[in-house]
Amino acid sequence: MTRPAARNGSRASADRLARLLNLVPYLLARPGIEIAEAAGDLGVTERQLREDLELLWVCGLPGYGPGDLIDMAFDGDRVTITYDAGIDRPLRLTPDEALALVVALRMLAETPGVANREAVERALAKIEAAGDLVGAPVAVRLPGDTPRVEALRTAVEGGKALRITYYTAARDETTERVIDPLRMLMVGGRAYVEAWCRRAEAVRLFRADRIDAITELDEPATVPPQAVPHDLTEGVFRPTADLPLITLRIGRGERWITEYYPCERVEAGDGDQWLVSLRVTDLGWARRFVLGLGPEVTVVAPVELADQVRATAAAALDAYAVPTPAAVPRRPEVDPERTPSGDPAVAGRTQ
């Protein structure tokens, strides 16, 4: 429940930082400006602007003593910057800072789904030239960045329809589809192609590492007007009320489930056990999910899932069972007196 608030807080802090960095040169160019006018130009309330000015008073150069901090003068409702602490000077990067920025921009340029990749590459070229870092021996490789991802990126940028062979883990099946790509994107360290799937007649996400084959068709990608990209701010999987709800009893060693998967309910049970309820795409995926967990997990509901897990586990145990070797019949002992020759040596050889 705290994650959305944390993200909103981080976004608000970033917005305020950008506003503060813009505020000093803005006020330097307009000495004695009225606070109401400045607030209107900057798109904030007068109260927010006054709070920003109070924060600026404790910002400045390292040392943070007299002569180091930003200073300003107020005349009624007017404000003037009297000392800017060097914020008006052009930004000069150290070699380490320039290299770090080059690495960050190279990573951004390689990230699937970047809206304006050309702008990133232009900025990268300028920084490399200014810092004498052209051809710097820096190799950037993103998680999941494979030749398949590069091939997909090239195909998507080509604007053609694609025929793909795709493995759907939820149903444990491989299908062939024709898709009209919308974009490539990176979510949770994995590359995806978002496209209009002609087979499903809907927008679908295809994980790059589950695409077994790609064929670029001669026809251009044709995306219908109703094709709307997914909102992935909360992740790829968005649980809804129409999806199956499963309940598991888990031990202490499996509590990581509550952090990794979106759970609808988490309740304390007996001892160290918890009852966890979560939505899944289908029971087939849930069966494989439960079978991959440790012995501290028990299916509580639905009964159908518990039966599937039990049957699959029993079949696996039967496959690993060692067959009992067939008993070898022992030849009966021969009475020497009953042998045709009556020779004890012959009887000894037949025992």
Region of poorest pLDDT, from 2-6, 120-124, 165-169, 183-187:
2-6
pLDDT value, residue 294: 79
pLDDT value, residue 176: 93
Per-residue pLDDT for 113 more than 60? no
pLDDT value, residue 343: 45
pLDDT value, residue 141: 56
3-state SS class at 3: helix
Q: Which is nearest to 205 in space by CA: 152, 257, 158, 243? A: 152
pLDDT value, residue 5: 44
Q: Model confidence at 232, in pLDDT bands (50, 70, 90)?
A: low
Positive or negative CA dihedral for 44, 47, 48, 51? positive
Q: Model confidence at 348, in pLDDT bands (50, 70, 90)?
A: very low
Q: Model confidence at 4, in pLDDT bands (50, 70, 90)?
A: very low
Structure tokens at 285: 């995926």
pLDDT digits (tens, 9 = 90+) for 333-347: 555 454 444 444 333
pLDDT digits (tens, 9 = 90+) for 306-323: 998 999 888 888 888 777
Rounded CA separation 334/95 (Å): 98
pLDDT value, residue 178: 93
Q: Model confidence at 110, in pLDDT bands (50, 70, 90)?
A: low
Name the burial class of residue 198, with classes exposed (0-12), middle (13-18) and buried (19+) by CB atoms within 10 angstroms of its CB: middle
Chain centroid to Cα 339, Å, comes to 84
- What value does the mean pLDDT take over residues 255-263? 84
Q: Which residues contact 68 (CB under 8 A, 6 or more apart)?
A: 60, 61, 62, 85
pLDDT value, residue 114: 56
Q: For residues 211 and 168, is the Cβ–Cβ distance under 8 A?
A: no
Q: Which residues contact 128 (CB under 8 A, 6 or more apart)?
A: 102, 134, 136
pLDDT mean across residues, the chain:
77
3-state SS class at 47: helix
- Residue 31: other Cβ atoms inside 10 A: 13
- What value does the mean pLDDT take over residues 91-118? 68
Length of the chain: 351
Q: For residues 169 and 284, is the Cβ–Cβ distance under 8 A?
A: no
- What value does the mean pLDDT take over residues 249-259? 87
Q: Which residues contact 323 (CB under 8 A, 6 or more apart)?
A: none
312-to-172, 322, 338 alpha-carbon distances in Å? 15, 18, 58
pLDDT value, residue 197: 92
Backbone angles phi, psi at 322, to 5 degrees: -90, 120
pLDDT value, residue 334: 52
pLDDT value, residue 346: 38
Report the amino acid identity of residue 158.
G
Q: For 243, which DSSP code? A: S
Region of poorest pLDDT, from 17-26, 136-145, 156-165:
136-145
Which residues on neighbouring strands pair with residue 266, listed in sequence order? 276
Per-residue pLDDT for 16 more than 80? no
Region of poorest pLDDT, from 144-158, 177-191, 204-218:
144-158
3-state SS class at 335: coil
pLDDT value, residue 33: 92
Number of separate helices (H) and strands (E) present in the chain? 10, 12
- What value does the mean pLDDT take over residues 203-222? 87
Please write down the long-range contacts of 93-102, taking CB distance under 8 Å and 24 or more positions apart: 93/127, 93/131, 95/131, 98/127, 98/130, 98/131, 98/133, 99/131, 99/133, 99/136, 99/138, 101/127, 102/127, 102/128, 102/131, 102/133, 102/136, 102/138
**Phi/psi zone of residue 43: left (φ > 0), alpha (ψ -120 to 50 degrees), beta?**
left
